[in-house]
């Protein structure tokens, strides 16, 4: 049957929090009969503009009016520029929108109560540990959760009479780089070393903890550290992180519930002023000297769980793929490498979709044409996209092109059950190489290797593109070397090259070689009477006529008004047939072309038995004499 469709916009799916939020959306959505389509990109606050635009481009693929509703996660707004772009994009949509951890005008927003939980954590540090020197590492500026957590820090310090010092605050970014910056600032600061460091998420807290331990500090003996999000990595860390367990799965499920209710025209209990808050829970642990949550498993021994075995196999396949791609000379070889990788990881379904003119635009345009493309042209999706790889139930299949605004046509077709579709852009900077779609697959979910894999795949296509450009440029340079600029026929350099090839072929196959020498009739008169422009037109017309029926023969502009035609033949009849066709072409040209001068030429040819002693100059001399005799005879006949 046909299922309804929810679109999800988010960046990054490599953390526990993002993965669990999506799990909540997926499971609730499927239960209610909705496909969940995730338009996923990977950008951070420090992203370069071209890379950011290449990633964000996936959000411009579908027509969201074709979906029943949209969910936007807060990390989609990590940069102010992206926030404006996404809000502008959503303004064009008429379907219901629900946001998670952020605000979009006119939509219901679902939050966890970051402020209350961070207050509780800060009060634990101030009241129970009696800390007064507390450094805070903020999340992304403007992010509602990040701002709420920082506000709680400021409020608690103020209420307990502890000064809020700018030197004890680092503007972080929710990533490792934020933790690194905090440690650099703390160690360079002239204020007294902090008793505690509180971070807006676990990723930054783990980074702070590890860097300080590397520099000889003890956690928690010298400094306590806390994070937020209750990640698996944080709980398996040594020491285990004090943090806040937010109901990220519930956040996703609740957002989906609100959206499904809006689609059905129902209200959701607990929504006030277009907002709904879910409670978070403080988890005290080793990094602050407490041991909440019961006994922890031993973390010093390597765990050989099923997940780790799968991960090791995946890494092995990714290494094999990368090595195989290094040997690819073209996109066909690259395609075969990707197919091999897909068959080994065996997702339930997988698609690689590209623009209809993908091969022509990416690999066949010359350097100048590609460089002249505007930013919009490089990013744009064509009206239809074609599917280069379609994989389902362990079988590669053929799949027809479809309208790009659908993102994937099967979303709107009969399927046996609702599914999770994850769309990821494939690109190099702002150059669009299409997109990948994983269906009900674990590969993109919570996999820190996924973004690295995507970047490497885009880089490898870019390398093939550049190799193709180089080969094309070399071919064009070679063509310029062996081609006559006026007529496009070969020049003497080309003739010398082809003579060697023809001679070798004749000696190997016992074929014969024909050489025809051609001279235009009356070119001097045409130049004198009508001008050199008319003379050039006649030279071009001669080249066109000679090449029209040339087939396997090579046409050479020998100089001025002289041409040579050469190639292999079995007998003289092939040459006779060629010249009969040429004479007919000349007759037709003169009859149908309304120009000042008529085309007329004289020729002479010879069929040679080829040996090692056959020389081009000798052959030309023979055929030149034949041509001259024929020209003389024509003059006498007039």
Query: Above 90 in pLDDT, residue 13?
Result: no
Question: Regarding the domain delimited by 112-252+272-288, which CATH topology (the fold level of the hierarchy) does it fall under?
Answer: Rossmann fold (3.40.50)
Query: Above 60 in pLDDT, residue 292?
Result: no
Q: How does pLDDT run across 431-477, given as a tens digit for each residue?
A: 999 999 999 999 999 888 999 999 999 999 999 999 888 888 888 88
Q: How does pLDDT run across 174-230, given as a tens digit for each residue?
A: 989 999 999 999 999 999 999 999 999 999 999 999 999 999 999 999 999 999 999
**DSSP at 126:** I
308 — pLDDT class (breaks 50, 70, 90) = low
Among 510, 16, 527, 568, smallest CA distance to 245 is for 16
**Cα-to-chain-centroid distance, residue 405:** 18
Q: How does pLDDT run across 529-562, given as a tens digit for each residue?
A: 999 999 999 999 999 999 998 999 999 999 999 9
Map out the domains of the chain as residue ranges: 4-95+305-470, 112-252+272-288, 487-637
Instruction: Determine the Cα–Cα distance for residues 214 and 198; give it in Å rounded to an integer.
Output: 19
The string over 459-490, giving b where at least 16 C-beta atoms fall within 10 Å of a residue's C-beta and e elsewhere, is ebbbebbeebbeeeeeeeeeeeebbbeebebb
Instruction: Determine the Cα–Cα distance for residues 179 and 197; give it in Å rounded to an integer.
Output: 10
The DSSP bridge pattern shows strands 431-439 and 349-355 to be: antiparallel
Query: Above 90 in pLDDT, residue 273?
Result: no
Among 438, 458, 454, 459, smallest CA distance to 318 is for 454
Q: Quote the pLDDT of residue 45.
A: 61
Read off the pLDDT of each residue in 300-308 and give the average, rounded to a whole number: 46
Q: What is the dihedral of CA 319, 324, 328, 332, to 10 degrees?
A: -100
Q: Quote the pLDDT of residue 307.
A: 55
Q: How does pLDDT run across 71-124, given as a tens digit for each residue?
A: 999 888 877 788 889 999 999 889 999 999 888 888 999 998 999 999 999 999
Question: Measured on CA atoms in the order 571, 577, 578, 583, is the torsion positive or negative?
Answer: positive
Query: Above 70 in pLDDT, residue 297?
Result: no
Query: Above 70 in pLDDT, residue 300?
Result: no
Instruction: Determine the Cα–Cα distance for residues 167 and 93; give it in Å rounded to an integer.
Output: 44
Please give the model's pTM, rounded to 2 decimal places. Answer: 0.75
Instruction: Judge whether 585 and 548 are in contact, CB under 8 Å.
Output: yes
Instruction: Judge whether 568 and 505 are in contact, CB under 8 Å.
Output: yes
Instruction: Judge whether 255 and 74 are in contact, CB under 8 Å.
Output: no
Mean model confidence pLDDT for the chain: 91
Read off the pLDDT of each residue in 401-406 and give the average, rounded to a whole number: 97
Q: Quote the pLDDT of residue 48.
A: 80
Instruction: Judge whether 262 and 255 are in contact, CB under 8 Å.
Output: no
Lowest mean pLDDT among 44-53, 387-396, 521-530: 44-53
Instruction: Determine the Cα–Cα distance for residues 43 and 10; give it in Å rounded to an integer.
Output: 10
Is 92 buried (19+), middle (13-18) or exposed (0-12) by CB count in 10 A? exposed
Query: Above 60 in pLDDT, residue 293?
Result: no
Q: Quote the pLDDT of residue 638.
A: 62
Among 403, 432, 451, 419, smallest CA distance to 347 is for 419
E strands of 83-171, at which residues? 97-100, 108-112, 134-137, 169-170
Query: Above 80 in pLDDT, residue 524?
Result: yes
**Cα-to-chain-centroid distance, residue 165:** 44
Q: How does pLDDT run across 155-170, given as a tens digit for each residue?
A: 999 999 999 999 999 9
Q: Quote the pLDDT of residue 302.
A: 38
Q: How does pLDDT run across 619-635, given as a tens digit for each residue?
A: 999 999 999 999 998 88
Q: How does pLDDT run across 326-375, given as a tens digit for each residue?
A: 888 789 999 999 999 999 999 999 999 999 999 999 988 877 788 889 99
610 — pLDDT class (breaks 50, 70, 90) = very high
Residue 510 neighbours by CB under 8 Å, 6+ apart:
none
294 — pLDDT class (breaks 50, 70, 90) = very low
Instruction: Judge whether 227 and 234 are in contact, CB under 8 Å.
Output: yes
Instruction: Judge whether 93 and 261 are in contact, CB under 8 Å.
Output: no
Query: What are the angstrom distances between the C-alpha of 370 and each of 234, 359, 469, 480, 617?
Result: 47, 13, 9, 20, 43
Read off the pLDDT of each residue in 389-408 and give the average, rounded to a whole number: 97
Q: How does pLDDT run across 498-516, given as a tens digit for each residue?
A: 999 999 999 999 899 999 9
Question: What is the chain's Cα-based Rg?
Answer: 36
Query: Above 60 in pLDDT, residue 570?
Result: yes
What DSSP line would sit under 191-242, residue for residue?
SPPPSEEEESSHHHHHHHHHHHHHTT--TTTT-EEE-SS--HHHHHSSSPPB
Question: How much of the chain exceeds pLDDT 90, in percent?
Answer: 75
> What CATH code is assigned to 487-637?
3.30.70.270
Of 3.40.50, 1.10.3470, 3.30.450, 3.40.390, which CATH number belongs to 4-95+305-470? 3.30.450
Instruction: Judge whether 457 and 464 are in contact, CB under 8 Å.
Output: no
Instruction: Judge whether 24 and 248 are in contact, CB under 8 Å.
Output: yes
Read off the pLDDT of each residue in 262-283 and give the average, rounded to a whole number: 90
Number of neighbouring beta carbons within 10 Å of residue 630: 16
Q: Quote the pLDDT of residue 15.
A: 80
| Helix (H) / strand (E) containing 518 | strand 512-520
Instruction: Determine the Cα–Cα distance for residues 300 and 290; give it in Å rounded to an integer.
Output: 19
């Amino acid at each position: 049957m046909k299922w309804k469709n929810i679109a999800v916009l988010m960046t990054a799916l490599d953390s526990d929090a993002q993965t669990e939020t999506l799990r909540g959306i997926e499971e609730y959505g499927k239960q209610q009969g909705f496909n969940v389509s995730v338009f996923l990109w990977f950008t951070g606050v420090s992203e370069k503009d071209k890379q950011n635009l290449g990633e964000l481009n996936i959000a411009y693929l579908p027509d969201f009016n074709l979906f029943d509703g949209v969910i936007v996660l807060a990390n989609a707004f990590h940069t102010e520029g992206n926030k404006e772009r996404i809000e502008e994009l959503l303004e064009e949509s008429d379907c219901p929108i629900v946001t998670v951890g952020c605000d979009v005008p006119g939509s219901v927003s679902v939050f966890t109560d970051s402020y209350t939980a961070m207050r509780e954590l800060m009060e634990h540090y101030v009241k129970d540990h009696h800390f007064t020197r507390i450094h805070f590492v903020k999340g992304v500026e403007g992010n509602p959760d990040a701002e709420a957590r920082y506000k709680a820090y400021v409020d608690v310090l103020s209420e307990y009479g502890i000064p809020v010092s700018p030197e004890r605050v680092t503007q972080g970014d929710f990533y490792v780089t934020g933790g690194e910056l905090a440690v650099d600032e703390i160690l360079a600061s002239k204020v007294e070393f902090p008793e505690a460091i509180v971070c807006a998420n676990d990723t930054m807290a783990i980074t702070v903890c590890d860097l300080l331990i590397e520099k000889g500090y003890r956690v928690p003996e010298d400094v306590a550290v806390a994070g937020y999000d209750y990640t698996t990595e944080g709980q398996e860390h040594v020491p285990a992180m004090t943090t806040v367990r937010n109901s990220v799965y519930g956040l996703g499920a609740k957002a989906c519930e609100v959206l499904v209710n809006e689609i059905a025209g129902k209200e959701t209990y607990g929504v006030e002023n277009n907002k709904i808050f879910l409670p978070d829970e403080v988890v005290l642990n080793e990094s602050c000297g407490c041991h909440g949550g019961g006994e922890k498993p031993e973390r010093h021994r390597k765990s050989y769980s099923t997940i780790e075995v799968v991960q090791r196999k995946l890494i092995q396949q990714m290494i094999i793929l990368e090595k195989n791609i290094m040997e690819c000379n073209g996109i066909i070889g690259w395609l075969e490498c990707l197919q091999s990788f897909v068959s080994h990881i065996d997702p339930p379904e997988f698609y690689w979709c590209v623009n209809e003119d993908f091969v022509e635009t990416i690999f066949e345009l010359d350097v100048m044409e590609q460089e002249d493309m505007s930013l919009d042209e490089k990013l744009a999706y064509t009206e239809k996209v074609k599917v280069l790889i379609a994989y389902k139930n362990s079988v590669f299949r053929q799949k027809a092109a479809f309208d790009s605004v659908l993102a994937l046509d099967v979303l709107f077709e009969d399927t046996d059950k609702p599914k999770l579709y994850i769309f990821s852009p494939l690109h190099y900077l702002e150059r669009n190489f299409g997109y990948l779609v994983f269906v009900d697959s674990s590969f993109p979910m919570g996999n820190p290797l996924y973004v690295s894999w995507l970047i490497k795949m885009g880089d490898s296509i870019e390398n093939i593109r550049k190799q193709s450009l180089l080969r094309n440029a070399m071919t064009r340079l070679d063509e310029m070397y062996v081609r006559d600029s006026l007529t496009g026929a070969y020049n003497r350099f080309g003739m010398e090259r082809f003579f060697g090839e023809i001679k070798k072929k004749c000696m190997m196959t016992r074929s014969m070689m024909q050489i025809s020498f051609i001279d235009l009739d009356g070119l001097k008169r045409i130049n004198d009477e009508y001008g050199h422009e008319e003379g050039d037109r006649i030279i071009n017309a001669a080249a066109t006529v000679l090449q029209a029926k040339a087939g396997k023969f090579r046409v050479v502009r020998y100089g001025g008004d002289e041409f040579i035609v050469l190639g292999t033949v079995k007998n003289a009849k092939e040459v006779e047939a060629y010249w009969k066709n040429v004479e007919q072409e000349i007759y037709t040209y003169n009859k149908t072309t309304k120009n000042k001068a008529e085309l007329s030429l004289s020729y002479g040819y010879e069929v040679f038995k080829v040996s090692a002693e056959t020389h081009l100059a000798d052959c030309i001399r023979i055929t030149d004499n034949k041509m001259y005799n024929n020209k003389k005879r024509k003059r006498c006949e007039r």
